[in-house]
Structure 1
């Protein structure tokens, strides 16, 4: 058959790919299942063979996004090599790179209102991302005396919040995305201020 989903041999993935385009263009609430079907070049009823509705389809997009995100962060972390600080900086850059390269996934993951524990698979994928971030935070904060170490989950949540804020304000081409500094510079200096506040780096670093 000539329809794109069947031609590719994977209707489910064809619908995910179509949804990624629609989310990036219109947002997670700006399209219908029939639009996803039309873009995938299948009938309006075809999506319901695999997904119960738009939320279920967005959940699959988010799941695939979290898997990609975890792979990228883990690669950037590289077991803390060549140094824990350099690897931590690489994780921050990877966060921004993912948001730029995979806007549809990023929006589905963080801006669709999707509960991270909506399914067991999604919860596991989210936890995998969190483990990479917390592993990096633990390795870096190990330089501090035990009584001065913030909980790794809090440490990584602070950095994730900073990264997400920079993505939203300065890295997405929105009206508020005007700054004399690049998103990468903003993240690097912001994380630097945070680490100095913890006493993990000195003023010359």
Structure 2
């Protein structure tokens, strides 16, 4: 990795950037705080001006990730309107796009073991992003007869689980897993099957 150094007053962000690169290369537990400092071009002691330890640094990376994630999800949801179905499908696609474009953030958010309750800011950012998917699910669920309508949180959780599974197994290249179909197609068809089961899409749609 090439040492990037940092501009005066931007040490914290330089360390987060270093953390993200190390997470992409080695995973969230595969590096030390000293390595993050070295690759940012500073001494280990300098890290403690901004972060209490490695988990604190990863938590900041997760916070930044959730903020980007929320913005992406909100833009996708708004872009899919006025159709509830298009808005819902757009949020699923945005999830895959975010994971593809921001692998370090994605791992810090969902695979590092950092709780979203670690801080109020982290909880708010995570709630904002995942809340978009729940909102899209609630809108779409209104098209299901009341006696067959799942709670919006369950509806959203099913799609989140499907999206996360596609990312983990087929988009990020987990060892021993492969598919002849692109991740986007896997997610789109999987959601389609799910929506047909709920009666939102006709069998031949």
TM-score between the two structures when normalised by the length of structure 2:
0.94
Residue by residue over 1:98-139, the C-alpha shift from the partner in whole angstroms, topping out at 9 and shown as x without a partner, is 111100000000000111211111111111012101110011
Query: What aligned pairs does 1:1-40 form with structure 2 within 5 A after superposition?
Result: 4-5=5-6, 7=7, 9-40=9-40
5+ residue gaps, structure 1, are none
Q: Structure 1 8/147 Cα, relative in aligned 2: closer, same or farther at 3 Å?
A: farther
Tell me what 1:81 maps to. Answer: 81
Is residue 170–residue 176 contact of structure 1 (8 Å, CA) maintained in 2? no
Tell me what 2:70 maps to. Answer: 70
Query: What aligned pairs does 1:188-203 form with structure 2 within 5 A after superposition?
Result: 188-203=188-203
5+ residue gaps, structure 2, are none
Flag as ranges the 4+ runs of structure 1 deviating above 4 A.
none
Q: Structure 1 158/17 Cα, relative in aligned 2: closer, same or farther at 3 Å?
A: same
Is residue 15–residue 37 contact of structure 1 (8 Å, CA) maintained in 2? yes
Q: Does 1:90 align with 2:90?
A: yes
SS of the residue corresponding to residue 199 of structure 1 reads coil
Cα distance in 2 for residues equivalent to 1:79 and 1:186: 22
Residue by residue over 1:39-90, the C-alpha shift from the partner in whole angstroms, topping out at 9 and shown as x without a partner, is 1101111111111000010000001100100100110111651421122111
Cα distance in 1 for residues equivalent to 2:80 and 2:149: 18
Is residue 8–residue 14 contact of structure 1 (8 Å, CA) maintained in 2? no
SS of the residue corresponding to residue 49 of structure 1 reads coil
Tell me what 1:101 maps to. Answer: 101
Q: CA deviation at 1:173?
A: 2.3
Tell me what 2:158 maps to. Answer: 158
Tell me what 1:173 maps to. Answer: 173
Cα distance in 2 for residues equivalent to 1:87 and 1:8: 43
Alignment RMSD (CA, Å): 1.3
SS of the residue corresponding to residue 178 of structure 1 reads coil
Give the length in aligned residue pairs: 202
TM-score between the two structures when normalised by the length of structure 1:
0.94
